[in-house]
Amino acid sequence: MDNVDLDVLRQVCAWRQQQPVVLGTITSTWGSAPRPAGALVAVRADGQIAGSVSGGCIEDDLVARVRSGALAAHGVERVRYGISGDEAARFGLPCGGTLELLLEPLHEASRVEELLAALERGERVRRELRRADGVATLTPALGADVLQLDDERLVTTHGPHWRLFIVGAGQMSQYLARMALALDYQVTVCDPREEYRPELPGVTLTQQMPDDAVRALAPDAHTAVIALTHDPKLDDLALMEALRSEAFYVGAIGSRANQARRKQRLAEHFGFTEAELAPLYGPVGLKNGARTPPEIAVSILAELTAARYGWRIPEPVFVGRGATAAST
C-alpha cells in the first residue's frame, strides 16, 4: 500500500463520523490503466472524493452515481470501465485500457478504523471482504502480497510492501531512513556501536551485529540491504549474508576503489565467486552528481526504485560546467 492509499483510509475514517462513504478498490486492470490493482478511491455521500483511479473521468462518474444513490447503495457492487474503445476514451483511459472496481458502502463491520490503526503501527494486514454482506476480517499478512477476487470475497494485502535494511546509523543513514519511509519502505537501521543512537520515528533500530540482524530479517525479494558505515568489520558481515539471500538490492557506499577491495575481501575471506559478487551495487546510488548526505540519499532511493522495476541505469555522461561531481 502506498502513501496515497493510506491517506485515503485516513480520510475515510474522518468522513465516517459525518456521512456515509463508499470505498472502491481496483481489483483488476487490462492494458495501460493509470493506477494498479489494489489502489483505493473513496466517495462521500455528498460527492467529496479521496484518492484516484483514473485521473478524473472515472472519479466524476463515481461521484455522480453515488450522489444519485445508484451505486453501492445496498451492498457491495462490482463495476467496470473502458470495455470498448469509445468508453475507454470517454473515461480518460489509454487506448485499450480497462479498469474494474469493487465498491463497498462502509459500516462498522468494514473495520476500516482497525485497519488504519494497524497500518499506522507499520503492520502488514490481510483483509478479507465478504461480498454478500460487506463484513470484513483482518489477519496478519504473511508471505507475498495477495489480491484475489471471486464471487464470494475480495482478499487484499495492506501495509509496507518493501523493506529496507540499513547498516550504520550515521547522518547519511538517517536521511535515507526518513526518505525511505515516505516511499513506503519498512525501515530497519542496524548499528551495534554505542555512540550511534538517533531518534528515528517509524524506524526499527537494532544493536545486533549486522550478520545476525540480516539473518533474523530473512531478506526476501522485497528487501534491500545497504551498508553505509565505511567500516568493513560491520559492512562486510551484512553484505555476506545479504548476497546469499533473495534481497532484490544489495549495496554499499564507497568509491570504486573501495568497492574493488570489498569484493576482494568477500572472495578471499568468505569464498564468494565473481558471479556471486556481480549483483553487489557500489558505489550505491545513481550517478547524478550528488554530494551532500540528503542528495546521496535521493540518488540511492532512485536506484532502489529502478531496481524494483527491473531497470539498470547506465553511467551518465557529465555535461555540466565546473568541478566534476563527487562519486557516491
Q: For residue 96, what pLDDT is reported?
A: 52
With a threshold of 0.85, does the pTM exceed it? no
How many angstroms separate the Cα of 142 from the Cα of each of 96, 158, 161, 276?
35, 11, 11, 29
Q: For residue 83, what pLDDT is reported?
A: 57
Nine-digit cell string for 63: 461521484
Element (H, E) at 216: helix 210-217
130 vs 151: CA distance, rounded Å: 9
Taking 50 as the pLDDT cut, the residues of the chain under it are 324-328
Nine-digit cell string for 103: 465498491
311 vs 218: CA distance, rounded Å: 24
Q: For residue 186, what pLDDT is reported?
A: 87
Q: For residue 224, what pLDDT is reported?
A: 96
Q: For residue 305, what pLDDT is reported?
A: 92
Domain boundaries, the chain: 3-158, 162-308
Q: For residue 13, what pLDDT is reported?
A: 96
Q: For residue 325, what pLDDT is reported?
A: 43
Contacts of residue 125, defined as CB under 8 A and 6 or more positions apart, other chains included, come to 115, 118, 119, 138, 139, 140, 141, 157, 158, 159
Q: For residue 322, what pLDDT is reported?
A: 56
> Which CATH code, of 3.40.50.720, 3.90.245.10, 3.30.160.270, 3.40.50.920, is assigned to 162-308?
3.40.50.720
Q: For residue 237, what pLDDT is reported?
A: 94
Q: For residue 104, what pLDDT is reported?
A: 96
